[in-house]
């Protein structure tokens, strides 16, 4: 051991590796334990991984064992964690974009999904913007305008955890039911619009006002058009090859890794963050179902198991829940949480009911659409990195992510118990139409 210590002292690269690897081991062990605990209480694994990141931060680990936490996560390894988390987010958003089937639904279903997406975005955006204007003096940075701050809060609260929602529906066999198809399509629209809003906000914030942001916005639009109209047709032969063989070969894997990383590098150079490049690279991928299955089978486990826990921990290191103390801060947090929950839950539920679905299905969809999961963490990490929000608002929105994600499945089961869910799986062809009750709607009973 002393010889190793001497070698490490003589080799700065080895010394850095001997600091990074123990941190990764602790991150993965904590994520595995918390993810398993989440499964035991019938919550998605990603919720446990999110909580693991917060626990490793200053809120608990740093409070109980400050010297150990400082030794495990010294300042010199944080840039390494940032690079790994950025690569992980870029590849994860690439897989999210590749998983969106934006051409397979009939027009009528698309119109209803757009209506459902709008009912999740507009109320959340309005209530979130209202909360942002109300709390501007309490939570904002001095170099961020009230409009920019309010739009950021509204955009963060309008997100839906599309990947987690898809996992829940697939686990429960509802992906091809009317509520499953509508919810997945609506969530993908929600998230795509929220990312577009964040791209505009990032461009405005990093430019000298709206006029200075125009070149960045224009370059982002050109990038999106190039990816969807030029790169996407070039990738179609890869999709046909995978459809014939059922697997992505070594050359194909180079392509599917290089495309999102190159796209992320270009969007970083433009000034709107690498995850946007990854997302549009995913949208440009072949839409063949066999290709999507092969791609997710090859990449999702590695990204989810190794790289995303690093991102959750990097977020947790920036989360200081101790800053949310005192009556003013607690009231501000309650305002943000209430705006996010009510806008998404009731907006989506009432729209589902107006489209002819029963109250049970309507409230079940409202619960699922209200989960924000990983998506809001990506959103707010970009805002924090670019100086658009304070650490206090960041901590509040992390709590919003944990609470809404943790409440999604219990609220879903409350609205749609197992016996009713089995009926939807057995006869998924038509909405469950219930007579409109004379009293107020109830999610259970």
What are the pLDDT digits (tens) for 212-239?
567 777 888 899 899 989 999 999 999 8
Mean pLDDT for the stretch of residues 44-56: 87
Does this model's pTM top 0.85? My answer is no
237 touches 294 (CB < 8 A): no
Distance between CA 79 and CA 268 in Å, rounded? 16
CATH 1.20.1530.20 fits 90-286+320-426, yes or no: yes
350 touches 362 (CB < 8 A): yes
Each residue of 144-195: pLDDT tens digit?
889 889 999 998 898 887 767 776 776 666 666 777 778 877 887 777 777 7
Instruction: Name, in order, each residue with C-beta under 8 angstroms of 437's C-beta and a sequence gap of 6 or more.
Output: 359
pLDDT reported for residue 210: 53
Mean pLDDT for the stretch of residues 141-145: 85
Q: Give CA angle at 183 (225, 274), nearest 5°.
A: 35
Each residue of 352-410: pLDDT tens digit?
999 888 888 899 889 888 888 777 888 888 888 888 888 889 989 989 988 988 888 88
Higher-confidence position of 204 and 403: 403
Instruction: With a cut of 70, say whether residue 425 has pLDDT above it.
Output: no
In the structure encoding, which two tokens stand for residue 91, read together? 């590849």
Would you place residue 442 in the very low, low, confident or very high pLDDT band (cuts 50, 70, 90)?
very low
Higher-confidence position of 101 and 194: 194
**What's CA 13's distance to the chain center, in Å?**
34
Instruction: Name, in order, each residue with C-beta under 8 angstroms of 98's C-beta and a sequence gap of 6 or more.
Output: 282, 283, 285, 292, 295, 296
Would you place residue 430 in the very low, low, confident or very high pLDDT band (cuts 50, 70, 90)?
very low
Would you place residue 80 in the very low, low, confident or very high pLDDT band (cuts 50, 70, 90)?
very high
What's the chain's Rg over C-alpha atoms? 22
Mean pLDDT for the stretch of residues 404-430: 74
pLDDT reported for residue 428: 45
Looking at the chain, the whole-number percentage of residues with pLDDT higher than 90 is 25
In the structure encoding, which two tokens stand for residue 363, read together? 């409230």
Would you place residue 102 in the very low, low, confident or very high pLDDT band (cuts 50, 70, 90)?
low
């Amino acid at each position: 051991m002393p010889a190793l210590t001497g070698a490490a002292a003589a080799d700065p690269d080895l010394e850095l590796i001997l600091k990074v690897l123990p941190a990764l081991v602790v991150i993965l062990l904590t994520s595995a334990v918390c993810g398993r605990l989440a499964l035991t209480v019938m919550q998605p694994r990603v919720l446990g991984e999110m909580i693991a990141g917060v626990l490793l931060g200053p809120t608990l680990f740093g409070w109980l064992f400050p010297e150990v936490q400082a030794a495990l996560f010294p300042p010199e390894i944080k840039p390494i964690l940032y690079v790994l988390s950025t690569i992980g987010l870029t590849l994860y958003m690439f897989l999210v974009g590749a998983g969106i089937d934006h051409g397979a639904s009939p027009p009528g279903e698309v119109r209803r999904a757009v209506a459902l997406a709008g009912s999740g975005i507009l109320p959340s955006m309005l209530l979130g913007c209202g909360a942002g204007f109300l709390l501007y003096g309490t939570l904002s940075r001095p170099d961020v305008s009230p409009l920019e701050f309010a739009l950021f809060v509204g955009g963060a609260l309008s997100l839906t955890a599309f990947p987690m929602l898809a996992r829940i529906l697939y686990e429960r066999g509802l992906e091809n039911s009317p509520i499953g198809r509508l919810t997945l399509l609506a969530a993908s629209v929600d998230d795509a619009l929220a990312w577009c809003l964040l791209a505009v906000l990032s461009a405005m914030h990093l430019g000298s006002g709206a006029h200075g942001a125009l070149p960045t916005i224009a370059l982002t639009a050109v990038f999106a058009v190039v990816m969807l109209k030029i790169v996407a047709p070039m990738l179609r032969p890869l999709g046909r090859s995978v459809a014939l063989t059922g697997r992505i070969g070594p050359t194909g894997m180079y392509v599917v890794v290089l495309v999102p990383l190159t796209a992320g590098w270009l969007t970083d150079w433009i000034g709107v963050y690498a995850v946007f490049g990854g997302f549009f690279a995913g949208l440009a991928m072949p839409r063949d179902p066999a290709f999507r299955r092969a791609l997710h089978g090859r990449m999702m486990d590695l990204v989810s198991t190794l790289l995303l826990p690093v991102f959750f921990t990097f977020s947790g290191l920036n989360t200081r829940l101790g800053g949310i103390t005192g009556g003013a801060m607690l009231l501000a947090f309650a305002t943000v949480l209430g705006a996010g929950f009510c806008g998404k839950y009731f907006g989506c539920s009432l729209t589902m009911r107006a489209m002819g679905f029963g109250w049970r299905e309507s409230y079940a969809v409202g619960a699922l659409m209200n989960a924000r999961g990983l998506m809001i963490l990506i959103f707010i990490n970009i805002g924090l990195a670019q100086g658009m929000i304070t650490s206090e608002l960041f901590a509040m929105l992390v709590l919003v992510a944990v609470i809404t994600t943790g409440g999604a499945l219990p609220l879903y089961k409350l609205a749609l118990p197992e016996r009713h869910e089995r009926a939807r799986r057995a006869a998924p062809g038509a909405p469950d139409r219930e007579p409109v009750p004379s009293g107020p709607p109830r999610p259970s009973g």
